[in-house]
Chain A
């Protein structure tokens, strides 16, 4: 472990590119590359109290945050793995071999010119600066543990919108963020939320003032560059009364031979009449354990919508939730998961109704390819004393091959007779006849498969912002290309 003050003078080393793409324009390996970066701050390998103290000290955190972290570490160590209901694959995570903090500094740059070349080239290759110019209100680009770049358009900042990383958020605006931090998802919610609470770094802290409607999306991009690394970003978004914001995140990592851990905590607070839409398109390499806790609280007449696309990773466990706390609050989860060979997408949604006339909607579609496995887990809870609550749950699974697997575990608890619930589930398989039909029109088998899968998710994908639905289609095409023998 390096001391926090140790600055490394030689910051740029050789670059290595894994899987350089030979075909320009058809970027089959968009996220599969890594550059050698010399990290000025490195918490070393393994997790102990010292690791936590190191992270807190390089961030120059207030004492209450260090306390919060240390308590969380204890909770993490005390809690068993949830393998009584979840996959045993979790036991293959070796917490002693993970690196918990790597960065070149704690303060993100406000312009791309200031971002060190060895980091900037990664994001340029992923097209982030270009997207920012085209259609985003603000961007945060996280490289391993810290944001290398963070900027918000002047016009948005002038409306009082705060868009910073977690370190800055807690340091500069404690009066706004401390009140909600760790309240939507308490440290002890699950083992991985505890882990995140102990070692969190990066992620976005957003505050949208009363009545402000942010016209363009804010975007964060989470990039894992280092091997054996654990990324633990922490995001907190607060939309004040009547405010509206769309937040999008993208995630990639190169393919290493060893596994990588990504364990984020995302908390959303939509105050009275506010709207938050949170969109994720992740394309993790297939050795990433992606164990993320995402939850929002929707106050009176507020609306929280999660749009969640999970492609890649070795194991994803993620069940975005909404606590419908105020009267007439609305919650929605739109989920698309694609599990290819060697992958398990264990995804779903949680809707906790806690006020009258609250409505929730869950639409989950999963695609299992080859020996890929997709699992839907849902929780809908409507207690007896409530009136006029509604839930609609639809989960559809598409199996591509005969050895593909899907499981559905919907847990819907509705008490009382003044509430309304509807649940539909279907499993279908791409038929040989359908593929032959499409081939007869001149499409290759892989193109036919892609079109079939894209058609299956089309009604959901059309709800995404244009750029993301194009990206989703591209990712599906790439996944399907390799699926036909």
Chain B
């Protein structure tokens, strides 16, 4: 049982405060959705937790199983069990998915320990079968010339192989048509529960039809302003974000 605690987190880019006193605790097995209009700091939150160098943590803490991760490099955070599924994954020319994942898996082994290549490929193919990904896919260079759907599938495959404790999924639904969305959702649903905790960031309710969250939070101006169960997402869909805005004005 693992726990990711985000405590009174403040994040800024340069002088500009983006995330303002954000609080949330996620346990293994839980799926949390964060919804909110553009520009409320959802993506900033995810990247800051992953350790992106452009973001400054100006206050608060992020704890993984009780240990602060803020002093750790992005790769150390990743190896500690944090995975960020990118909204816009980078292309890596000349590096196949299979080799990239192999390097990532190797990086998790103790120094001097060599990866068992046969076992690695066996596991990779099992995960690909699970996600209904064609075998030829992993011999392509990472995200190089991929469609939006292929990029997202590549993210989910990496997530499946690296078996993180917590996955931060940043707008995984953006750029996906309905078929791609369904396939990606199936993959996430196959992984959910058990040891994996998920923080899902989305702008639209649509994704939540396929990956049904345990908790829904509305983010506004850098913090959570409303939490509830999956019905909150439907309410938001029906009433729009203006509803939250009005509620806030009354509060």
From A439, A444, A451, B92 is in contact (CB under 8 Å) with A451
Kindly state whether residue A179 has any CB partner on chain B within 8 Å.
Answer: no
Contacts of B107 in A (CB 8 A): 441-444, 447
Q: Is B141 an interface residue (CB 8 A)?
A: yes
Task: Annotate B87-107 by CB proximity to A: 1 below 8 A, 0 otherwise.
Answer: 001111111000011011001
Q: Residue of A at shortest CB range from B168?
A: A440
Pairwise interchain contact A458-B94, C-beta atoms closer than 8 A: yes
A431 at interface (Cβ–Cβ under 8 A)?
yes
Q: Mark B45-62, 1 if CB is under 8 A from A, else 0.
A: 000001111100000000
Main secondary structure, interface of A, reads helix
Indicate whether B108 reaches chain A with its CB closer than 8 angstroms: yes
Contact B92 A438 (CB under 8 A): yes
Q: A440-B50, A451-B103 are in contact. Are A445 and B78 (CB under 8 A)?
A: no
Q: Do B78 and A433 have beta carbons less than 8 Å apart? A: no
Contacts of B203 in A (CB 8 A): none
Q: Which one of A442, A445, A456, A459 lies within 8 Å of B79 (CB-CB)?
A: A442
Whether A313 is near chain B, meaning CB under 8 Å from some CB there, is: no
Looking at the assembled complex, report how far the CB atom of B82 sits from the nearest CB atom of chain A, in whole angstroms: 8
Does B141 contact A455, Cβ atoms closer than 8 Å? yes
Q: In the bound complex, how far is the Cα of B151 from the Cα of A355, in angstroms?
A: 48
What is the minimal beta-carbon distance from B79 to any residue of chain A, in angstroms?
5
Of all chain B residues, the one with the shortest Cβ separation from A452 is: B92
Q: Which residues of A contact B100 (CB under 8 A)?
A: 438, 441, 451
**Nearest Cβ on chain B to A235's Cβ, whole angstroms:** 32
A447 to B105, CA, bound (A): 13
Is A131 part of the binding interface, using a Cβ–Cβ cutoff of 8 Å?
no
Most A Cβ at <10 Å: residue of B74, B78, B100, B101: B74
Q: Are A437 and B95 in contact (CB under 8 A)?
A: no
B86 & A437 in contact (Cβ 8 Å cutoff):
yes
Q: Cβ of A436 and Cβ of B53 under 8 Å apart?
A: yes
Give chain B residues whose Cβ lies under 8 Å from the Cβ of A440.
50-51, 74-75, 77-78, 83-84, 86
| Residue from B53, B73, B89, B141 within 8 A of A437 (CB atoms) | B89
Cα A455 to Cα B141 in complex, Å, equals: 9
Instruction: Determine the distance from Cα of A443 to Cα of B90 in the docked complex, in whole angstroms.
Output: 15
**Most chain A CB atoms below 10 A, which of B73, B83, B104, B162:** B104
Task: Write the nearest CB–CB distance from A212 to chain B, whole angstroms.
Answer: 36
Q: Name the A residues within 8 Å of B92 (CB-CB).
A: 434, 437-438, 451-452, 455
Whether A454 sits at the interface, judged by CB under 8 Å, is: yes
Asked whether, in the complex, the Cβ of B95 is within 8 Å of the Cβ of A454, the reply is: yes
**Closest chain B residue to A437, Cβ basis:** B90
A454 near B94: Cβ-Cβ < 8 Å: yes
The reply to whether the CB of A432 lies closer than 8 angstroms to some CB of chain B is: yes
Residue A265 at the B interface, CB < 8 A?
no
Residues of A contacting B74 in the complex (Cβ-Cβ under 8 angstroms): 436, 439-440
Q: Which of B180-218 contact A (CB under 8 A)?
A: none
A444:B93 contact, CB within 8 angstroms:
no
A450 nearest CB neighbor, chain B only: B103
> A residues within 8 A CB of B50?
440
Q: Which residues of B contact A431 (CB under 8 A)?
A: 90
Closest Cβ neighbor of A458 among chain B residues: B94
With a cutoff of 8 Å between Cβ atoms, the chain B residues found around residue A434 in the complex are 90-92
- Chain B residue contacts of A444, Cβ below 8 A: 73, 75, 107
Say yes or no for A266: interface residue by CB 8 A criterion. Answer: no
Chain A, residues 449-473, CB within 8 Å of chain B (1/0): the string is 0011011111100000000000000
Q: How far is the CA of A315 from the CA of B211 in the complex (A)?
A: 58
Q: Are A442 and B94 in contact (CB under 8 A)?
A: no
Tell me the chain A residues, 401-446 only, with Cβ under 8 Å from chain B: 431-434, 436-445
Interface residues of B (CB under 8 A from A): 50-54, 73-75, 77-79, 83-84, 86, 89-95, 100-101, 103-104, 107-108, 141, 158, 162
Known: A436-B52, A445-B73, A452-B95; 11 extra A-B contacts, CB below 8 A, are A432-B54, A434-B91, A436-B53, A436-B90, A437-B86, A438-B100, A447-B75, A447-B107, A451-B95, A452-B92, A455-B141
Cβ contacts A to B, 28 pairs, < 8 Å: A433-B90, A434-B91, A436-B53, A436-B90, A437-B86, A437-B89, A437-B92, A438-B90, A438-B100, A440-B51, A441-B101, A441-B158, A441-B162, A442-B107, A442-B108, A444-B73, A444-B107, A445-B73, A447-B75, A451-B103, A452-B92, A455-B93, A455-B94, A456-B93, A456-B94, A457-B94, A458-B95, A459-B94
Q: Considering the complex of A and B, which 8 residue pairs feature the smallest CB-CB distances, nearest first?
A: A455-B94, A458-B94, A455-B95, A437-B90, A439-B74, A441-B104, A442-B78, A439-B75
